[in-house]
Structure 1
């Protein structure tokens, strides 16, 4: 993988949220190192200590929680995206989430404390992270509201419309888990729609 291509991908991702001056971006990019995750392997697991932010350069990752041996999918990440267990990171406690590769993936990890220190030095970078976290929060709120108010069929239709890449690339049992329904319920919904 070309380093220049990677930097340009990271630059486009950062600038999507807020423009960051060259010096700040270069220092931020220099904090990252490549991590390759093979399909079905985990980037992190429940109980792990979380110290890093991950920029997903290529591939697909799934975040899930285990409860009584049952996996509950909370999100799917497609490149480009920023990933971490923010609660574990901020509260300095073991992770509750599991982050697994759905296909061979490449992430770039950076130590959160170093990123945060750099962001305080460069207001443009701080603004960028504020906008990223705002987007993550809004997405989380929209998901919670959908789980409360929308029927399973409506949740599936929303997913189909808003995130067609999930429908196209993720196994049905993981989609069902993400929608908060059983795989057989998803099957019935799909038969009625298609």
Structure 2
């Protein structure tokens, strides 16, 4: 079942014109939080003990920063740019044996001169409709997104992800020159609803 959903999601995203990106599970607080306009909660960071490379000091808890980093390294590529990743993130879980849990997620970003919330919503609609999932978007505030242009994605009352237009400060932090819209979905939550 896990592979089936993963492949279905990849197929839809490629069909929508997105390019798949694969990035490291290891990251750093600067990329995961500060560049994303968020204040890290120290207890939520899964740190790596004795990292060999100072850039990789913790494990990622979400995918969007990895895509922003990818885009920041590819500003010379023609626009629009549409990228996605299906990958594992590691979150704290006090009930787990090793105090962490792997969570499979999907994130996608579109960036070009007219990228906006409506475009991200159209992508979300195509994806979840293809999986026969009805969803709602509830307005929310999140430091990585523009106020009034960010939402929680809910399915059957459960929060499964985020959608929105990337905040200008985040774009500046990653040295991106064009607006961007993004989605991040917890595929494990979706899997439980299928």
**TM-score class, shorter:** under 0.3
Q: Which has the higher contact order (CA 8 A, sep 6+)?
A: 1
Q: Going by fraction, where is helix more abundant, 1 or 2?
A: 1
Q: Going by fraction, where is strand more abundant, 1 or 2?
A: 2
TM-score normalised according to structure 1 size = 0.25
Structure showing greater radius of gyration is 1
